[in-house]
Amino acid sequence: MLEYEPNADIHVLDTHVLDISQHNQVPGATYYKCDISSLSEVEAIFAKCKPKTVFHVASPDPANVQPALFRKVNVTGSHNLLLAAQKIATVKAFIYTCSSSVIHDNYSDLKRACTLSKAEAETSILAANRANGDSSILTASIRVASAFGERDYTTFAKIAANARKGKANMQIGNSQNLYDVTYVSNLVDAHPLAAQGLLRAHGKPLTSPATRVDGEAFFISNDEPILF
């Protein structure tokens, strides 16, 4: 983020700030311990730092099997961030990190709590775009396809762990299905680019669908599908 905006003040909200080792912290950023499912906690921090741009990237591990946790963080947390952003009146751009899995043509009896909660959160965030006119908050969503890279603890870390246990010799289907992945730096770049688009559009009339960023959802991947 500082590469795009060297003079920006960066404020990070996280539930585990006190547990994060120093090598995971960025010099110059301010860290706050916060549970986004608590509106009062979010409002207190927003009132202190008065953000111009909000990047909502928080979400539980998608492999988690507690539906209530996904609703707490992804639905209630998103709602609270929006309310706090609207109340403080300094926020111009709100970017949500969603998932490509919210759109698919698969039919199954299985209920994916993570995907459902992400879809619900995205719907409310995009609906908040220009809710109070051209000079109100502009929103956008980034639909990422299976992010991986440095400090990845949810995807390839688990694949490697299963391989060490001798569980890499299993196959589902004929291995001819295409699967998209996203290197973390591509995902990171997408966020400030989306923010720049929203900030350019703030206070101006809605543009044509071909050039519009606000109120839109964007799929992000390496554009290099692999066989699965």
Positions annotated as catalytic residues are 118
Rounded Cα gap, residues 226 and 130, in angstroms: 38
Rounded Cα gap, residues 74 and 121, in angstroms: 6
Q: Which residue from 144, 110, 140, 108 is spatially nearest to 125, judged by alpha carbons?
A: 140
Contact 74, 121 (CB under 8 A): yes
Question: What is the C-alpha end-to-end distance of the chain, expressed in Å?
Answer: 33
Question: Where does residue 11 rank: exposed (0-12), middle (13-18), buried (19+ CB within 10 A)?
Answer: middle
